[in-house]
């Protein structure tokens, strides 16, 4: 879990395709592609996200991104949902496209973790 985050921030993890990876690294923000799902899922634990990325069905995943974001914003706009609790034992958070600007403005840092 996010053992090194301050009380004001939280670390979240997202498994991404090459296109999403390059977009994030180039602009420093998360975005939804036109015609896409309209939300972003984040794991609350690096190990859980790595296990998810390693599944054969996820063959388009090429990287895992760590994002440190202000905790109060995530608590305000994030939906704390249970997506595949067998893989994501520590839970997941979804951020809807309508809230992505607020989420992006609350980012402290983004790191290519794996």
Average pLDDT over residues 80-97: 87
CA distance 76 to 46: 22
HEC assignment per residue over 54-73: CCHHHCCEEEEEEEEEEHHH
* Residues in a beta bridge with 110: 67
Q: What is the pLDDT of residues 37-68, one digit of tens each?
A: 788 999 999 999 999 888 767 778 889 999 99
Query: Domain 9-112 carries which CATH code?
Result: 3.20.170
pLDDT class of 105 with cuts at 50, 70, 90: very high
Residues in Cβ contact with 106 at an 8 Å cutoff, skipping those fewer than 6 apart: 69, 70, 73, 74
State the pLDDT at residue 84.
Answer: 80
Q: Indicate the domain borders of the chain.
A: 9-112
């Amino acid at each position: 879990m996010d053992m090194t985050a301050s009380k004001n921030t939280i670390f979240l993890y997202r498994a991404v395709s090459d296109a999403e990876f390059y977009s994030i690294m180039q602009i420093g923000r998360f975005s939804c592609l036109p015609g896409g799902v309209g939300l972003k899922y984040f794991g609350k634990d690096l190990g859980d996200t790595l296990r998810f990325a390693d599944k054969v069905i996820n063959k388009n995943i090429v990287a895992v991104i760590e994002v440190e974001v202000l905790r109060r914003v995530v608590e305000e706009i994030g939906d704390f949902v249970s997506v595949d609790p067998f893989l994501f034992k520590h839970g997941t958070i979804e951020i809807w496209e309508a809230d992505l600007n607020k989420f992006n403005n609350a980012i402290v840092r983004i790191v290519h973790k794996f």
